[in-house]
Amino acid sequence: MSAGIGIHDLSLATGQYVLDLDLLAAATGTNLDKFHVGLGLDEMSVLAPDEDVVTLAASAALPLVRRHGTDRVRTLMVATESGVDQSKSLAVYVHRLLGLPASCRAVELKQACYGATAGLQAALGLVARNPEEQVLLIAADVARYEPGSTAEPTQGAGAVAMLVGAEPGLLTVEPVSGVRTADVDDFWRPNDRSVALVDGRLSVTAYLDALSGAWDDYQARGGVPVEAIDRFCYHQPFTRMATKAHRRLAQRTGVELDEAALMPTTRYNRRLGNSYTASLYAALASLLDHDDDLAGRRVALFSYGSGSVGELVTGVVGDGYRSAERGLRHARALDERKPVDVHRYRELHAAAEHPSDVDVDVPVASGTPFRFAGVRGGARRYEVGA
């Protein structure tokens, strides 16, 4: 890969509603510390009836399209484990909603929460081949579990869109990375299920094993020593997982690592809940929006997808990375969500499934730029909002 390719800009979006986990703790008789300390979560985003993973993805990308145009966008990739069709890619829906050129390839990527990092590597290769092109890469997911299950408080929803190109403004991705793949049944969702199955303890173990393996591979391929990395972003199914990961890396390298430095990476995920593919890049967005001393610093990104694949990449932050407008937009996306109580959240959870053999019209509910309008003839319908 030639020098100077990476993430030029990014944008975060989430659902229109929010559940305060204090309310869920009270409703389930759970000690608050289990959510706030044990998991490191305060809130979780909840979707309105006319929102889904397609509208999240398109909403995340819209500010990038408005700021940078689409003339150089030759490829659209959407990474998700919340796909709405087994054949037609989520990216094709998003392509129309955003008004992208017909001469733009569109594809959906899947490998649990790791898919967006696979997309990033593919995007870097495409841009290296033709530096005049840009890739619009979107990580978007809705985390759903059975109400009343132990995984219920780790639900959430979010999307992060990234514009990948040459001479990037935010993060120049370095060429060396470390990868580890292992067949593990820690988390999966069969085709006949709308909510995932998870072995929580095994998933934590598999995550940490993937981190160790990815780090070892990174070092074997000529990666920099851990002392040369200034900041660390980790995939955060719950933000406490970042602390566990940081401790494992310290143990693996024999170097004391500052856990307090993780705090700027957790601010958005504490409020989003789990956003699967998007959570690592929400951590990066949070770091860029809250750390005033990143210019020229090296950041490590560890991506984990259950099943399992882990990858560690590094990048150097650009001098002009801070954007007050971007930070304000992300803050508004979180602050302007409408609170719901536990009863309403569970109503929305139950109503989110729409079988393809039943035609349904979904009324306007969210006022977002794009909306899920319902199902007609087995096909999902989407509209551009007001």
Domain boundaries, the chain: 5-171+324-384, 175-317
One fold for 5-171+324-384 and 175-317 = yes
Low-confidence residues of the chain, pLDDT below 50?
1-2
Burial class for 355, CB neighbours closer than 10 Å (0-12, 13-18, 19+) = exposed
CATH annotation of 175-317? 3.40.47.10
- Whether the CB-CB separation of 191 and 86 falls below 8 Å is answered with yes
Supply the pLDDT for residue 367.
86
Supply the pLDDT for residue 2.
43
Phi, psi angles (nearest 5°) of residue 62: -55, -45
The residue among 381, 354, 359, 356 whose CA lies nearest residue 96 is: 381
| pLDDT tens-digit map of 343-373 | 999 999 999 888 888 999 999 998 899 999 9
Q: Which residues are catalytic?
A: 81, 113, 235
| pLDDT tens-digit map of 200-233 | 889 999 999 999 999 999 999 999 999 999 999 9
DSSP per residue, 105-165: EEEEE-BTBTHHHHHHHHHHHHHHH-TT-EEEEEEEEEE---TTSTTGGG-EEEEEEEEEE
Rounded CA-CA distance 124/130 in Å is 10
CATH 3.30.70.20 is right for the domain spanning 5-171+324-384:
no
pTM reported for the whole predicted model: 0.96
Supply the pLDDT for residue 1.
38
Supply the pLDDT for residue 198.
82
| Beta strands 231-234; 298-305: pairing state | parallel
DSSP class of 273: B
Rounded CA-CA distance 24/178 in Å is 39
Rounded CA-CA distance 386/327 in Å is 24
